[in-house]
Structure 1
Amino acid sequence: MLHSIILGEGKPLIILHGFLGMADNWKTLGKEWSENGYEVHLIDQRNHGRSLHSVDFNYTLLAKDVHDYCIEHKLENIYLLGHSMGGKVAMKVAADFPQLIKKLVVADIAPKTYAPHHSDIINGLKSINFDEIKSRKEADEQLALRISDFGTRQFLLKSLYRIDENRYGWRFNLEVLGDSQEMIGFQEPIQTQIN
């Protein structure tokens, strides 16, 4: 099952975050839209945030997750916004389940294949030694040795959480996502049925 944050009432708007993101990334805009007549569903996609972690990870499954979420929440005629990897998922949802969609917005990605380009970030994330990390500041310091951009580090550190009193971890499934870089950029042909 997918974890979500639901804000407001009105027309259903589902927002899908990008690679290594989470629902919280869209909370500010989601709150604004929820005050303008939308019931906003900020979703943590599979292997991200608080949603299920699974070795199975591809766009067909991610689109089916959204479909099943809509069935579970009785959502129809949805407005679907996907950013980056979430945009590819949104396109797949529209192709596989066109009956769900009223409007589709795809941000910051096109229906084409992209070469893998997250290796430095994945390697930086994997370099964190959670046996040594006792604070967010220490995690940032270790991450800074591999990722110099402050904004990128702050984005990634949003997914850092305290597993228990003595240990931190990532909310995303780093092992599976790290092995999925080619899949993330891949674009399968999109075929839709027009009635």
Structure 2
Amino acid sequence: MQPLYVQPLNYQGFENSPQNVLLIHGLFGSGDNFKALGKELSETFQVYLVDALNHGQSPRLPSMQYQTQVEALLATLDAHHIESCHLLGHSMGGKLAMATALIAPERVNKLIVADMAPVAYKHGHNAEFNALKSVNLATIENRRDADASLDKYIAEPSIRQFLLKSLKKENDQWHWLFDVDNLEQSYAQMIDWPFSEHSYAKPTLFIKGQNSEYIKASYQQAIMTQFPRAQLKVIAQAGHWLHAEKPRLFNRLVKDFFASEN
């Protein structure tokens, strides 16, 4: 089968070791989301902070099918002559990390999935898409103007501030660091899960936020069927953004798992 997409993704790197770790953000994020963790891991590993397709500085594409995203990620490994790596992904990035491990297990040494399960989810980001489309990028003068538009759809200040991190101004023009239209049109692909027949037999760690519903008890069978060596850690008093809410504990779990012998 011919690859659907072979152009490498954009990344930032911390290069201190021949052992490689790739960190993949979630929907509406960028590689910067894991910069603090990347710096900590760089004491031991060579770290790549990846921008997913349609995010950050990576290419725009009308498809977000995970097969396509995996091919882009593998092209990134090939471009940097990385035979294998440890892989961590959060949310949408967690699905991409799982899909990569399932499709190309020889390229993934260990896998960490942050607050995501190998299941199809229901639509859950209508408010975010409506909020983003409500911002008139041609007329706003500052982030306060954008926040006022977002506030009509999103009550939680933390979510609005997360989105506003990706609002940039260049050449007197505001723009988002993600492609709103492509992401909305391909959203059904991102919440789907077409890999239920695959399995990955290497060490895997799922990290759940205690207050998050993204990993439910009813998903345990799906997790263990596809990832038979999976462990689960729960971070107390944390939600879906567990790596931002409890960074010290999250980072320690990640470092300990990647550094362990098993």
TM-score bracket, normalised by the shorter chain, equals over 0.9
Q: What does residue 36 of structure 2 align with?
A: 28
Is 1:97 aligned to residue 84 of structure 2? no
Which amino acid letter does the alignment assign opposite residue 179 of structure 1? Q
Q: Deviations over 1:119-165 (max 9, x none)?
A: 01110001001121111221112211221111101111111111322
Which amino acid letter does the alignment assign opposite residue 8 of structure 1? E
Q: Assess if the C-alpha contact under 8 Å between 1:80 and 1:105 holds in 2.
A: yes
Q: Assess if the C-alpha contact under 8 Å between 2:87 and 2:108 holds in 1.
A: yes
Q: Deviations over 1:56-104 (max 9, x none)?
A: 2210011111111001111123000011111111111111111111111
Higher relative contact order (CA 8 A, sep 6+): 1
Q: What does residue 107 of structure 1 align with?
A: 114
SS at match of 1:105: strand
- Identical positions, percent: 35
How far the C-alpha of 1:55 sits from its partner, in A, is 1.1
TM-score (norm 1): 0.94
Q: Assess if the C-alpha contact under 8 Å between 1:95 and 1:190 holds in 2.
A: no
TM-score (norm 2): 0.70
Is 1:179 aligned to residue 161 of structure 2? no
Q: Where do 1:83-94 residues align within 5 Å?
A: 83-94=90-101
Q: Assess if the C-alpha contact under 8 Å between 2:62 and 2:186 holds in 1.
A: no
How far the C-alpha of 1:52 sits from its partner, in A, is 0.3
Which amino acid letter does the alignment assign opposite residue 170 of structure 2? I
List runs of 5+ in structure 1 lacking aligned partners.
none
Q: Where do 1:49-68 residues align within 5 Å?
A: 49-68=56-75
How far the C-alpha of 1:192 sits from its partner, in A, is 4.3
CA distance in 1 between counterparts of 2:200 and 2:117 reads 20
**RMSD of equivalent CA atoms:** 1.4
SS at match of 2:170: strand
Q: 2:80 aligns with which of 62, 73, 81?
A: 73
How far the C-alpha of 1:181 sits from its partner, in A, is 2.2
SS at match of 1:116: coil
SS at match of 2:139: coil
Which amino acid letter does the alignment assign opposite residue 101 of structure 2? A
Flag as ranges the 4+ runs of structure 1 deviating above 6 A: none
List runs of 5+ in structure 2 lacking aligned partners.
1-7, 202-262
SS at match of 1:80: strand
CA distance in 1 between counterparts of 2:200 and 2:140 reads 51
Q: Assess if the C-alpha contact under 8 Å between 1:12 and 1:76 holds in 2.
A: no
Q: What does residue 145 of structure 2 align with?
A: 138
Is 1:18 aligned to residue 26 of structure 2? yes
